Amino acid sequence: MSNSVQMPALGESVTEGTVTRWLKSVGEEIEVDEPLLEVSTDKVDTEIPSPYAGVLEKILADEDDVVEVGGDLAYIGDGSGSDSAASSEEDDSDDEDSSEAAEAPEPAEAEETEAAEESSADSADEPAAEAPASSGSEGEGTEITMPALGESVTEGTVTRWLKEVGEEVEVDEPLLEVSTDKVDTEVPSPVAGIVQAHLAEEDETVEVGEPLARVGSGAPSSSDSGSTDSGSGEAESSSDAEEEPAEEPAEEPAEEEAPAEDEKSEPAEEAPKQETSAPAASKPDEKKPAEKSEGSASAPAAADTVGENAAYVTPLVRRLARDEGVDLSSVTGTGVGGRIRKQDVVAAAANRSSAPAGSAAPAAGGAKEPFKLEIPEEAAKLRGTTEKASRIRQTIAKRMSESLEVSAQLTQVVEVDMTRVVKLRKANKEAFQSKHGSKLTYLPFFGKAVVEALKQHPKVNAQYDLESQQISYFDHEHLAIAVDTPRGLLVPVIKDAGDLSIAGLSKSIDDVADRTRNNKIMPDELSGGTFTITNIGSVGALFDTPIINQPQMGILGTGTIVRRPIVVKTEDGEESIAIRDMVYLPLTYNHQLVDGADAGRFLQTIKARLEEGNFEADLEL
């Protein structure tokens, strides 16, 4: 059957979104929470994950289409080609559940609420004394029913039992895993006690409000097993599980888990007795083997996805982890898709507190070796030696000191949203290199914005002579680029950079940088600049306070671009949080000529140009 993917709510004041790019094509498979498409709103560009696993059968909104919140975007199904969830109500009964019976959610939810209230009341007094009368349980346990899992969800499929017959379960402890056409989730037990019977097998579809299991205060009896027949063959599986609860799961797991299963069968067999005599003491020991045994068949899949889904935990588990002092990032989940369950946190807390010395040994001998410092040969040769500074180093040292002595330098920093530039570069870098023969880096974008701003702010593109008290405003933009070489920092100049496009700047930057590093740059190409850019982001720096290359009036540092959440404003003035590509641009300027307001206006011009991201024509593709 097919499920409709709808435009989610992307903020309190956001009512619609524009489809910018489909990340999956029709016919491709997709997993739950895997990015399906990119959507743009007033200020937020984000990826929309798929709420379902299956095959993308139909795209209902083309790229650049505007879709209201709640509007249909696509159909995801089992690959049969159905475009509507209504066309396959009865056909696909093996794995997927119908989502069409939306007329029944309220009665179903009412039944679930009543059942949950009765169960909670029973567990507070005598859990086995007043069971609901929906099945012939002879008053020996409380029936656990399929809860309402959504407004339009009327049934669910049992994917895995997390507690076997005879095992103890606590209130809110996960009892089983259920899959619907909307969500895969764990169903917690509303009562505490011992699982007396499974009333639904794995892979069986159960209506909302129908019984799933019976939980009571005593061990299961043979009559309990016999009363659960109901045409599903559950009596045999319940009886087998009571006699040898660990043997059935041990037949199917991967080869590497076979030895562990053999060791687990014995404690699992005695679990009911241990619970009766000392439930608190036996809990950590019994849960650990039981959950491994039950989850062995799906362990490989969980291991593959645990990294992606580890952050998805219920509030109950988060609270337990906080109380126990357990770091969730260090816990491997055994639930659906690698989700972290209550048992995982309990086991992690028990392992940490019970045997600190023993637990440290596997960690030390498992994977990581002690850190070994590696010193490069060049650095090793210099340690403990003295040498005469090279001619270039002497020149650099002299000019840097003189620069600080002859000018009043201070630095102003702005933060720039580079998201549009990042997307533009990503979309065109292959075509750019194919046509122009040079890699499309971010430096030409910064260079283009700078030379345009220099034309609008003449004070920054000028020279001030202290002796004559005269100011010279240049009618050209000779852009100097700081280049790191084995011999030291050199600053070649791109003449008339203001006349170049991004394509021209990219070629020129590659040319002068390559010739500078290979000692082929000419002396006259290292002078005459009117403004300098230093790419401090090439070594991962966020920002710096660069020193002016005299007699220029300023130098701009370009930090590393970092993807992080920021607060953005929508067109209607509301605020929301978005993930953006951000960069810091520090400008050091000579306060003898350039005032702080001048520097600020210059930076704001650069910021606006970069955030607008309108550089398509300058790529010359």
The crossing angle, in degrees rounded to 10, of helices 443-456 and 502-517 is 110
Half-sphere exposure of 7 (CA within 13 A, CB side): 24
> 554-557 and 531-534: which strand pairing?
parallel
Least confidently predicted of 72-86, 202-216, 246-260: 246-260
pLDDT, mean of residues 479-501: 95
Least confidently predicted of 90-99, 182-191, 369-378, 519-528: 90-99
Model confidence at 434: pLDDT above 90: yes
Confidence of residue 337 (pLDDT cuts 50, 70, 90): low
Domains by residue range for the chain, with CATH: 2-88 (2.40.50.100), 101-124+131-246+264-279 (2.40.50.100), 298-359 (4.10.320.10), 391-619 (3.30.559.10)
Rg (CA), the chain: 34
Residues 6+ apart with CB under 8 A from 261: 246, 249, 250, 253, 292, 293, 296
CA–CA dist 327, 295 (Å, integer): 22
SS3 of residue 225 by DSSP:
helix
pLDDT of residue 150: 66
Model confidence at 269: pLDDT above 70: no
CA–CA dist 61, 327 (Å, integer): 42
83 is catalytic: no
pTM of the model: 0.46
Beta strands in 384-450 (DSSP E): 409-417
CA–CA dist 75, 466 (Å, integer): 72
DSSP 218: S
pLDDT, mean of residues 31-38: 87
Q: pLDDT for 581-594, tens place per residue?
A: 999 999 999 999 99
> How many other CB atoms are there within 10 angstroms of residue 559's CB atom?
22
Residues 6+ apart with CB under 8 A from 467: none
Model confidence at 112: pLDDT above 90: no
Q: pLDDT for 231-249, tens place per residue?
A: 444 434 433 434 444 334 3
Amino acid in position 357: A
Q: pLDDT for 188-197, tens place per residue?
A: 888 889 999 9
Look at residues 247, 245, 246, 224 and name the one whose alpha carbon lies nearest to residue 234: 224
pLDDT of residue 556: 98
Give the percent of the chain with pLDDT over 90.
42
Look at residues 38, 183, 177 and name the one whose alpha carbon lies nearest to residue 97: 183
Q: Which of 33, 95, 172, 591 is catalytic?
A: 591
Identify the burial level of 439 via C-beta atoms within 10 angstroms of its C-beta, where 0-12 means exposed, 13-18 middle and 19 or more buried. Answer: exposed
Model confidence at 131: pLDDT above 70: no
Q: Which of 262, 496, 514, 595 is catalytic?
A: 595
Confidence of residue 390 (pLDDT cuts 50, 70, 90): confident
Give the percent of the chain with pLDDT over 70.
69
Residues 6+ apart with CB under 8 A from 126: 217
510 is catalytic: no
